[in-house]
């Protein structure tokens, strides 16, 4: 039995695509059971449609408040019997209510070596600070912004010739490998569950 993951994405969904691609390998211990997006035109939804992955656009504007919006997402995730939720470019902070009502682990990938440069524009922050190394981090999701326990990281050197675009591209290539690697380890029980 493969571990079932549900993915939340807001954008183009390149990490979603990488998870999906890697889930098809013989060495994979997980399957992508579901995609939910809060953006109707998200590229991730198109990919899910093309790949016949169950997918849902859940519009926050259809709900009176964040609590009802998140409740709907939890209902869908539970309906598809997911074991783990993976954020892949999901641009909203999940509330404690979501995390508690879901009751299982949620993980995220972020384009910096956390705890450095949390939040938006991490690559720009890294360049402005002048660091010589950046990278990506997979971490458990808690109530804060990119503050959960770190599970895995990949280091990417920052070159003198780098701009935001080139650095982002090199980090993204590592994200695609690291995220699936972490999910595979988690699926085999090699990563301790979060003690939120």
pLDDT by residue (tens digit) across 64-118? 999 999 999 999 999 999 999 999 999 999 999 999 999 999 999 999 999 999 9
Residue 58 lies in a domain: yes
CA dihedral of 93, 96, 100, 106, whole degrees rounded to 10: 30
Contact assessment for residue 58 and residue 73, using Cβ atoms and an 8 Å cutoff: yes
Residue 82 lies in a domain: yes
CATH number of the domain that residue 159 is part of = 3.40.50.170
Give the neighbor-by-neighbor strand order of the sheet with 84-87: 55-57, 30-37, 3-9, 84-87, 106-110, 133-140, 150-157
- Is the per-residue pLDDT at 191 higher than 80? yes
Distance CA 151, CA 8 (A): 19
Contact assessment for residue 2 and residue 28, using Cβ atoms and an 8 Å cutoff: yes
Average pLDDT over residues 43-70: 97
pLDDT at 75: 97
Task: Respond yes or no: is residue 110 known to be catalytic.
Answer: yes
Average pLDDT over residues 30-35: 98
- Is the per-residue pLDDT at 196 higher than 80? no
Residue 195 lies in a domain: no
Confidence of residue 195 (pLDDT cuts 50, 70, 90): low
Task: Give me the catalytic one of 55, 110, 139, 176.
Answer: 110
- Render pLDDT for 111-158 as a digit per residue (tens, 0 to 9): 999 999 999 999 999 999 999 999 999 999 998 899 999 999 999 999
Residue 42 lies in a domain: yes
Q: What global pTM score does this model have?
A: 0.94
Query: For residue 169, what are the contacts with CB-CB under 8 A and spacing of at least 6?
Result: none
- Render pLDDT for 6-30 as a digit per residue (tens, 0 to 9): 999 999 999 999 999 999 999 999 9
% of the chain surpassing 70 pLDDT: 99
Count: domains in the chain: 1
- Domain hosting residue 139, numbered range: 3-187
Contact assessment for residue 90 and residue 60, using Cβ atoms and an 8 Å cutoff: no
Beta bridge partners of 57: 37
Residue 57 lies in a domain: yes
């Amino acid at each position: 039995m493969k571990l079932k993951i549900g993915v939340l994405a807001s954008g183009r969904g390149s990490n979603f695509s990488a998870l999906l691609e890697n889930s098809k390998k013989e060495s994979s211990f997980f399957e992508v059971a579901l995609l939910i997006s809060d953006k109707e035109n998200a590229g991730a939804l198109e990919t899910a449609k093309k790949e016949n992955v169950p997918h849902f656009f859940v519009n926050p504007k259809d709900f009176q408040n964040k609590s009802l919006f998140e409740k709907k997402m939890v209902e869908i995730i539970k309906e598809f019997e997911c074991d783990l939720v993976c954020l892949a470019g999901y641009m909203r902070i999940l509330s404690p209510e979501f995390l508690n009502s879901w009751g299982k682990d949620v993980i995220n990938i972020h384009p910096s070596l956390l705890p450095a440069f949390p939040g938006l524009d991490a690559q720009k922050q890294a360049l402005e600070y002048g660091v010589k190394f950046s990278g990506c981090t997979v971490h458990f999701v808690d109530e804060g912004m990119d503050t959960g326990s770190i599970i895995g990281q990949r280091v990417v050197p920052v070159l003198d010739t780098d701009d935001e675009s080139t650095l982002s591209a090199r980090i993204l290539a590592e994200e695609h490998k690291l995220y699936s690697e972490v999910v595979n380890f988690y699926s085999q029980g090699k990563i301790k569950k979060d003690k939120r």
